[in-house]
Amino acid sequence: MKNIPEQGARKRIVIVGAGFAGVKLALSLSAKQFQVVLLDKNNYHQFQPLFYQVATSGLEPSSISFPIRKILQNKKNVHFRVAELREVKSEEKAIETNIGSLHYDELVLALGATTNFFGNPNLERYAVPMKSVSEALYLRNCILDNYENALNTADSSEQEALMNIVITGGGPTGVELAGALAEMRKFVLPKDYPELDFTKMTISLLEGSPRLLNGMSEFAGKQSLKYLQKLGVEVRLNCLVEDYDSQTVSLKGGETLNSKTLLWAAGIKANSVIGFPDISIGPAGRILVNEFSQTNFNENIYIVGDQALMITEQNPKGDPQVAQVAIQQAQNVAKNLNNKRLQKPLKSFKYFDKGSMATVGRNLAVCDLSVGSLKGIIAWLMWLFVHLMAILGTKNKVFVFLNWTWSYLTYDQSLRLMIKPREK
């Protein structure tokens, strides 16, 4: 790889992935005696918890994206390159990327996860995932384009399919998407499209298990169900999608739903890595690591974030794939890399759960804390504050706060733009 400075006496730490874990690790190591090389396929960090607000016209993409080079300004020991990982050659302590090869002393992979369609090619082709800013924008385009097309058809069945929305997956993403779309149906879309009858529009949330928000408390799951039903969302539990052909959603048991928009939030799998042995791969493609986040085949390779699977007696399924786990793992790896340099004992990782939260709509949210669970406007205000503080950049925080304030006061979302790439 060209133009990477000589490392000199410093050990070279290569980090692949600039999500929550990768950025936190790079910043934590920037003042240490290392040369840090950070690689990512994008030149920006994405704030994933708010993708759904981009998709539902609540926020502009730039408000939840932050240039990586700006994050790393004045970090002389950190070098960033836009690159995609192709292969890890652990025996040679090198990686291959689309811009060349690079030697490392320690390698940290923080590649995150992607959408899991469970091997169904039709779902992969026609369903709309939401794991990146570009996918959130695509989803926004699809929703708005469908309503424009609904104005121009006299076929009632076709119009119904264009207006109806089906969401699979009752986790935070699915619940928050369903709530945001329900509020759009109530407050925004009837004003934009007065010729359409939105009483005929259905928003269906399908969840394969007996309750919503499986990663949170039973209280949170039951309360979010009440909130969604209050907003007019049709929630179906113990409901599995078997197929989709871009118009008809086929459910297990033979029932079908008529919709041209199937939003897929039903599962994730870790991004794969070429060069790792099969013994290192666990369920859903996650990579098995020890208590120090090292792979089970090479102590110089660390995995953090959604890719990592750390199995313990207390936690046989590993830690949840959420931002706080990724950040805490990165902090622990940073300490261990420094301890390793100083020949000190490594510190085992233990996740400290600060709580979980999900918002359903205006003044409607649920929050699980160590002292108990909250609901309603207090939980909603906590959700707003926590997410606002987690966004990188003062300017982005201000823009997000102004957008939220405007939407709250006016019952409107002003970013209903169909931004499409130029067709050649």
Coil, strand, or helix at residue 258?
strand
Residue 381, domain member (yes or no) = no
Q: What is the pLDDT of residue 182?
A: 96
Domain match, 217 and 323 both: no
For residues 78 and 71, the answer to whether their CB atoms sit within 8 Å is no
Share of the chain above pLDDT 70, in %: 99
Q: What is the biggest distance separating any 2 CA atoms in the chain, rounded to whole angstroms? A: 74
Helix (H) or strand (E) holding 85: strand 85-89
For residues 203 and 286, the answer to whether their CB atoms sit within 8 Å is no
**Average pLDDT, integer, range 94-114:** 96
Identify how many contiguous H helices and E strands the chain contains and give both numbers: 12, 24
**Average pLDDT, integer, range 90-117:** 96
Domain match, 197 and 306 both: no
pLDDT band at 422 (very low <50, low <70, confident <90, very high): low
Instruction: For residue 81, list its beta bridge partners.
Output: 39
CATH number of the structural domain spanning residue 105: 3.50.50.60
Q: What is the pLDDT of residue 414?
A: 67
Coil, strand, or helix at residue 397?
helix
Dihedrals phi, psi of 351, to nearest 5 degrees: -75, 130
Question: What amino acid occupies position 195?
Answer: E
Residue 368, domain member (yes or no) = no
Domain match, 157 and 175 both: yes
Domain match, 167 and 256 both: yes
DSSP state of 198: G
CATH number of the structural domain spanning residue 208: 3.50.50.100
Q: How many CA atoms lie within 13 A of 2 on its CB side?
A: 2
Q: How far apart, in Å, are the Cα atoms of 85 and each of 97, 101, 293?
A: 5, 10, 20
Six token digits for residue 50? 């708010």
Domain match, 30 and 145 both: no
Residue 379, domain member (yes or no) = no
Residue 347, domain member (yes or no) = no
**Average pLDDT, integer, range 316-338:** 95
Helix (H) or strand (E) holding 116: none
Report the 10 Å Cβ neighbour count for 73. 8
Distance from C-alpha of 43 to C-alpha of 18, rounded to nearest angstrom? 9
pLDDT band at 415 (very low <50, low <70, confident <90, very high): low
Summarised one tens digit per residue, pLDDT across range 249-276 is: 999 999 999 999 999 999 899 999 999 9
Terminal CA-CA length for the chain = 33
Residue 354, domain member (yes or no) = no
pLDDT band at 419 (very low <50, low <70, confident <90, very high): confident
Residue 3, domain member (yes or no) = no
Coil, strand, or helix at residue 293?
coil
Six token digits for residue 178? 């369903």
Number of domains the chain is built from = 2
Domain match, 195 and 256 both: yes
Q: What is the pLDDT of residue 191?
A: 92
Residue 378, domain member (yes or no) = no
Domain match, 309 and 238 both: no
Residues counted in the chain: 424
Among 266, 293, 326, which residue terminates a domain? 266
Residue 179, domain member (yes or no) = yes
Domain match, 190 and 218 both: yes
Summarised one tens digit per residue, pLDDT across range 279-321 is: 999 999 999 999 999 999 999 999 999 999 999 888 899 999 9
The answer for 119, left when phi > 0, alpha when psi is -120 to 50, beta otherwise, is: left
Among 341, 358, 391, which residue terminates a domain? 341
Domain match, 256 and 306 both: no
Six token digits for residue 411? 């019952």
Instruction: For residue 101, list its beta bridge partners.
Output: 96
Residue numbers of the domain that contains 286: 11-41+83-115+268-341
Among 317, 341, 365, which residue terminates a domain? 341
pLDDT band at 360 (very low <50, low <70, confident <90, very high): very high
Domain match, 137 and 254 both: yes
Domain match, 197 and 315 both: no
Domain match, 185 and 252 both: yes
Q: Across all residues in the chain, what is the average pLDDT?
A: 93
Six token digits for residue 41? 């396929």
For residues 88 and 301, the answer to whether their CB atoms sit within 8 Å is yes
The residues, ordered by sequence, that sit 6+ positions from 401 with a Cβ below 8 Å of its Cβ are 388
